[in-house]
Structure 1
Amino acid sequence: MSKAQATRNTKLWRLNVPSKVKNFIWRAAKNVLPTAINLISKRVEITSTCAVCSANEESVLHALIECSFAKSCGFSSPVGFVGCCGSFLGWLEHIFTRCSREDCNIAMMICWRIWIHRNDIIWNDKFGSVQQVLNSAGQLLYQWQVAKKQVYYVDDDVHRLAHGAVSWERPKFGWVKCNVDAAIFESQRRFGLGCVLRNSDGCFLAARCVGRPGMFGAREAEALGIREALSWLKKLQFPCVVVEMDCLQVFQALTEGFSGPNGFGLIIEECRALALSIGEVKFSFVRRSANFAAHTIARAGSSMSDSRVWNLTPPS
């Protein structure tokens, strides 16, 4: 075994995903998945056309990466679409080289869910959407982490919010969703906070950007963003709100009853008090790709001396 192969295998088996997903990726890299082309090579009498797109022959690379449906999943994911790799193994090596460990975990979960979706079409005539495949990948990874005690939650109602989503989803009827993020500008010694509010139809309601001087760690800045968002929501008087964030540490602190004498602990306690004064507030954790609008608003805080609000019409 070459050094490159050994490194790739080590990265594969150290992925923080369920064992069945690791085994699936290993089989895909070995080109032993039962794709149409592989079955025909075993003298199974079937058509070689991809059952999902009906446009090309179904190889492992096509089924998981280059099929139009798989390509859409890639474009909408945190990893993005990576083409022209020649083989699934080449794609895998590229992902392992350029992506963070967490993005690698998500990419492998998405490949696995794309294959499940392909099988649902073939065997159950059941077609899903790109958003369903992406979010089920992120949510199943989160649920597995909960089962492995790598992340925790307090009550079943919090858990049912389908944490870990990769793509933004509308809140249920009668609720609004406020996505929140923070951005740190070290060279300017400033930070920005962004909030985006949308209703159960997915329509934009309002957005707020705050730019402030000061240097904070990522955890503290994200917690300040939640506090700022809750203060804003209290003035808007929405009774049922989902507050969504991509910082797992802050989400855990808010939902696990964390308290502490330091600045972070005090901010979390303020957030809980504000949430109680608003009405029904639920906290949700998602991947950054599902929180992109708030992230973009927060980045605008680098050039703002105070705050700005957009109502009904979103900023460009």
Structure 2
Amino acid sequence: MAVVTWRLWKRRNEVIFQNEFTSPLSLMKQVNQKLQDLKLLQHPTQIIPAMQEERVEPLQVWKAPPYGYYKINWDAAVDHKNQRVGIGVIIRDSDGQVIGTMRKNKFLNPDPHLAEACAALHAVLLGSNIGLRNIFLEGDALNVVNAINGVGEHWGQAGMVIVDIQEILNCFNSWFVAYSQRSTNQVAHVLARNALSIEGELIELEEIPSCIISMLQNPF
């Protein structure tokens, strides 16, 4: 109320001494702005010193492989309740064109590490089966990427899957396996999630599943 009274008094003085007239609508906007300013003064925003700010890595975007290579992105989604794993794979060429995709719903022990290893296995199998010779394999499971590249020893079911992946990779002319941020692997992630809603396996060559069409307009 005090703010409104003050602004009315100021408006009167502007008319008398400066010959300026403020419309009622403009008056209310000025009152609301003044109230917001007063609230900020009463509850100032806490300023965090630069040295204490949390460092956030900038999001990366998907990058096409060099000419003559194909990039295979893979991911896995786990349904613990039904003990199912959804596998998503997408293959793109150096122009970013989709060569093929895979969605697979698999009954499997819902262990995330094993699920990601199995997804990587099906990714390299798909690449081999359609005749690719030079590939980049990318996934956002760092432990699986390191295992395929021979970092450390790996036992159990996932370890046996890793050995199978390494043997298949040796059949390619050249191959690279790299870790990618989730932001660059979103298409494979959506395919994996969608795979949990289908039965069995669905491979599409040179066709784009409806669940990722909009994403490929701004590729990840």
Contact 1:182-1:191 within 8 A present in 2 as well: yes
List aligned pairs for 1:1-316, cutoff 5 A.
Answer: 89=47, 105=55, 107=56, 109-110=57-58, 134=59, 166-316=60-210
Higher helix proportion, which one?
Answer: 1
Structure 1 counterpart of 2:141, which letter? C
TM superposition shift of 1:278:
2.6
Contact 2:69-2:134 within 8 A present in 1 as well: yes
Q: 1:305 to 1:88 in 2, by over 3 A?
A: farther
Structure 1 counterpart of 2:93, which letter? N
Q: 1:303 to 1:173 in 2, by over 3 A?
A: same
TM-score when normalising by structure 1: 0.49
Could you tell me which runs of 5 or more consecutive residues in structure 2 were left unpaired when the two chains were aligned: 1-43, 211-220
Structure 2 counterpart of 1:253, which letter? A
Q: Which has the larger radius of gyration?
A: 2
TM superposition shift of 1:188:
2.1
Segments of 4+ in structure 1 off by > 2 A? 86-90, 256-261
Q: Secondary structure at the match of 1:170?
A: coil
Structure 2 counterpart of 1:189, which letter? Q
Structure 2 CA distance, aligned partners of 1:191 and 1:88? 45
Could you tell me which runs of 5 or more consecutive residues in structure 1 were left unpaired when the two chains were aligned: 1-85, 97-103, 111-133, 135-165
TM superposition shift of 1:305:
2.1
Q: 1:175 to 1:190 in 2, by over 3 A?
A: same
Structure 1 CA distance, aligned partners of 2:207 and 2:143? 32
Structure 2 counterpart of 1:210, which letter? K
Higher strand proportion, which one?
Answer: 2
TM superposition shift of 1:262:
1.4
Q: Secondary structure at the match of 2:204?
A: strand
Structure 2 CA distance, aligned partners of 1:213 and 1:252? 25
The percentage of aligned residue pairs carrying the same residue is 23
Q: Secondary structure at the match of 1:187?
A: coil
Structure 1 CA distance, aligned partners of 2:45 and 2:70? 44
TM superposition shift of 1:208:
0.4
Number of aligned residue pairs: 164
Structure 1 counterpart of 2:64, which letter? R
Q: 1:294 to 1:183 in 2, by over 3 A?
A: same
TM superposition shift of 1:87:
7.2
Query: How well do the aligned residues superpose, as a CA RMSD in angstroms?
Result: 2.2
TM superposition shift of 1:237:
1.0
TM-score when normalising by structure 2: 0.69
Q: Secondary structure at the match of 1:233?
A: helix
